[in-house]
Structure 1
Amino acid sequence: MQPSPLPSASERRQRVHRAVRELLAEQGFRISMDAVAARAGCSKQTLYSQFGSKQGLMQSVMRERLDLTAASLDRHGQDPRQTLIDFALEHLEHLCEPSVVATCQLLSAEAHEFPEQAQTLYRDGCDTLQQRLASWIENAMRKGQLRHDQPHLAAELLLSMIVGLDFERQRFAVPHRARPSARRQWAEYAVDAFLRAFATAGVPPAATAPLLQNN
């Protein structure tokens, strides 16, 4: 019998990232490099060699997630409405994962004990996502696809519209938009409302479909 092929560098990285995500939901800010190494099946020295530090490891995990969420913003030639809907759907799907809800609940509860780590996590996650969306919006404004305004504030507004109250519903264990069809209709509603608010002169508002129930 031939020996199993060694995992590629990408597979090893994915295994480490998966270990970090799992441990964050279980241990919050108390996660250690020892715990990650044990869960991922590698040595702590390997982690330090590959990521440099615990902060570098966390940044790598956050960067991977942000790249997935913001992938539609990097596509060229796509209709702006479809770009934002794809972005919204990816973001909502991520926030609908039970492990993400558990992680956010735990990290929120511990933030006052680990203020520096909490601020770094926010900067590398939420703040960076807002900046990437703001850059796309600013470019769309430059092209005349959106009305000129403050792109950073517009990005914050759009993110708030996309998430709505659904993440809070999950945190408090009440019915939410668990079905992809419900999330899609909400994403379309939020994006179309945003596009109407920032429409340039002469651009007709997009038509919206009636909303489904949360679940």
Structure 2
Amino acid sequence: MQASLEIDGGEELTERQKDVLNAALRLLVEEGDRLTMTAVARRASCSKETLYKWFGDRDGLLTATVQWQASKVRVAPIDRARIDLPSLTASLEGFASDWLSVISSETSIALNRVAIARAGSDGHGLGAIVLENGRMALARRLKPVLEAARDKGLLAFDDAETAFRSFFGLVARDVQIRLLLGDGLKLTEAQIGRDAALATRQFLALYGANDNRDEGRRRKPPSS
């Protein structure tokens, strides 16, 4: 299930608003964070007044745009009372697969390059928006799953942030930095599936409680 995304008033995004955010993403790729409300309005064939009504100011539009991209990384809903190893594994593999698909897309590569180039130039630019609404938002989304699994005795850890960072690192490895530096690495759907399964298996080997650690070591990623 894709994470819901809302505008300032609390309403879920309409298809038209999603079209506007996709237009803003394309402009970010082309122009960096120098994009203007005027340019977005022109590209999306809507008025600036509509943009201000929906998203507030330019930073609000940038924030919604990054959130829209990050929302493509889904976390499967879980029943805290019934979570078990298969449902935990499926949730982690799905998250890892979505995240690898997103970070390897041309849009995300370009967006992150722009954010890195602008990092430190001011205290509230695109870099800060990407960090807060990308990586930090993903942590807030997955930590409840990890904590629910810990409460059921499936995982063992003291700090959810540390556990999340470990999983994030196992999923990302050196993939994102290689892509950002121009490596011609191409991730196929099959490769993403194998990498997601491997990262999940390694995470369970590190953090699985009791027998789950052994299960994580034994479990093999699917063949292509």
TM-score for both structures, normalised by structure 1: 0.85
Q: 1:16 to 1:182 in 2, by over 3 A?
A: same
1:135 and 2:138 are equivalent in the alignment: no
Gaps spanning 5+ residues in structure 2: where?
1-12
Greater alpha carbon shift after TM alignment, 10-19 vs 80-89:
10-19
Output aligned runs, 1:64-213, within 5 Å. Answer: 64-72=68-76, 74-76=77-79, 79-117=87-125, 118-203=127-212, 204-206=214-216, 207-209=219-221
Question: Matches of 1:71 and 1:133 in 2, distance apart?
Answer: 7
Question: Can you list the C-alpha shifts for 1:169-204, whole angstroms capped at 9, x where unaligned?
Answer: 222333424211111111111110001111112333
CA contact (8 A) 1:95 1:167 kept: yes
Greater alpha carbon shift after TM alignment, 162-171 vs 191-200:
162-171
The amino acid across from 1:205 in the alignment is E
Question: Matches of 1:132 and 1:159 in 2, distance apart?
Answer: 13
Question: Matches of 2:175 and 2:26 in 1, distance apart?
Answer: 22
Question: Matches of 2:47 and 2:136 in 1, distance apart?
Answer: 32
> In structure 2, what is the equivalent of residue 43 of structure 1?
47
Greater alpha carbon shift after TM alignment, 61-70 vs 80-89:
61-70
The amino acid across from 1:61 in the alignment is T
CA contact (8 A) 1:84 1:191 kept: yes
Instruction: Using the TM superposition, give the Cα deviation of residue 75 of structure 1 relative to its aligned residue in structure 2, in angstroms.
Output: 4.3
Figure out how many residues of one structure are paired with residues of the other and give that number: 203
Question: Matches of 1:183 and 1:12 in 2, distance apart?
Answer: 31
TM-score for both structures, normalised by structure 2: 0.82
| 1:60 pairs with one of 61, 64, 70 | 64
Greater alpha carbon shift after TM alignment, 88-97 vs 55-64:
55-64
Question: Can you list the C-alpha shifts for 1:64-106, whole angstroms capped at 9, x where unaligned?
Answer: 333331332x244661111100110011001111121122112
Greater alpha carbon shift after TM alignment, 14-23 vs 170-179:
170-179
RMSD, aligned CA: 2.1
Question: Matches of 2:69 and 2:30 in 1, distance apart?
Answer: 19
Question: Matches of 1:96 and 1:169 in 2, distance apart?
Answer: 10
Question: Matches of 1:116 and 1:211 in 2, distance apart?
Answer: 44
The amino acid across from 1:189 in the alignment is L
